[in-house]
């Protein structure tokens, strides 16, 4: 290709140009055009093979890919802008998502300052982290993204530990209340049983007294 690439930047020589110049351009154009078309897919080949100058094909391809690159950049930036953190997803997995978005931006040659991406991550924290966000904002020293992520993961671990401890405490309290209720119910049942026993004893005594009275009266009448 060396020596013929000028066909990508120079149009066909004018009619009154030297024949040697014309011949050189024709050969260069032929080589460049064939090389470009041979790299295209069948679909793109059908589109660009109608053009006879390599320069035209080259410029159209540059425009096409520039537009695609710009479109991809907008897509990546849009994803980064719209990304949000929520309370119903694991914090670590969401931080991984954020880091992936930053890598996608870098791949498009969009490099954001470390302080900026760290500040955005703070703003994107879930609503339940509002107090923590305020603490970070009032820190005198600006945390780097790496330090901030470490800080957030530690905070998330502490929060999970507290939630587990509270859960165990609530379970213990519930079990205690349940145990007390069972004991109370047992006492009530026992008291009810004792009451029935007393009633049975009283009934028995009444029955015996009545029986004795009848016996005595019978003897007296006899």
pLDDT for 104-147, tens place per residue? 999 988 888 998 999 999 999 999 999 999 998 888 788 999 99
Task: Return the DSSP state at 142.
Answer: P
166/29 Cα distance (integer angstroms): 77
User: Which residues, including other chains, have CB under 8 Å from residue 112's CB and lie 6 or more apart?
Assistant: 102, 105
pLDDT for 16-59, tens place per residue? 889 998 899 999 999 989 999 998 999 999 999 999 999 999 99
Determine what percent of the chain is predicted with pLDDT higher than 70: 79
Sequential DSSP letters for 2-61: TTTGGGGTSPPPPTTS-HHHHHHHHHHHHHHHHHHHHTS-HHHHHHHTT---HHHHHHHH
Given a cut of 50, whether residue 1 has pLDDT beyond it is: no
What pLDDT score does 2 carry? 47
Q: How high does pLDDT run on average in the chain?
A: 83
Quick check: 118 and 145 in contact, CB under 8 A?
yes
pTM above 0.85? no
Quick check: 72 and 108 in contact, CB under 8 A?
yes
Q: Domains of the chain: which residue ranges?
A: 5-73, 85-169
């Amino acid at each position: 290709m060396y020596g013929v690439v000028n066909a990508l930047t120079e149009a066909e020589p004018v009619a009154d140009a030297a024949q040697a110049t014309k011949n050189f351009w024709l050969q260069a154009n032929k080589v460049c055009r064939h090389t470009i078309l041979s790299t295209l897919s069948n679909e793109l080949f059908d589109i660009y093979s109608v053009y006879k100058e390599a320069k035209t094909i080259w410029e159209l391809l540059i425009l096409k890919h520039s537009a695609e690159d710009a479109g991809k950049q907008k897509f990546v930036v849009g994803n980064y802008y719209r990304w949000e953190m929520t309370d119903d997803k694991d914090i670590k997995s969401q931080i991984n998502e954020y880091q992936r978005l930053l890598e996608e931006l870098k791949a498009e040659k969009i490099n954001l300052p470390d302080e900026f991406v760290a500040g955005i991550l703070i703003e994107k924290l879930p609503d339940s982290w509002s107090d923590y966000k305020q603490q970070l904002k009032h820190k005198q020293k600006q945390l780097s993204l790496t330090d901030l992520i470490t800080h957030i993961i530690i905070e998330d671990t502490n929060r999970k530990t507290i939630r587990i401890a509270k859960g165990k405490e609530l379970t213990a309290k519930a079990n205690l209340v349940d145990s007390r209720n069972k004991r109370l119910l047992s006492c009530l049942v026992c008291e009810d049983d004792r009451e029935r026993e007393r009633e049975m004893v009283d009934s028995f005594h009444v029955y015996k007294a009545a029986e004795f009275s009848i016996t005595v009266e019978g003897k007296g009448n006899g």
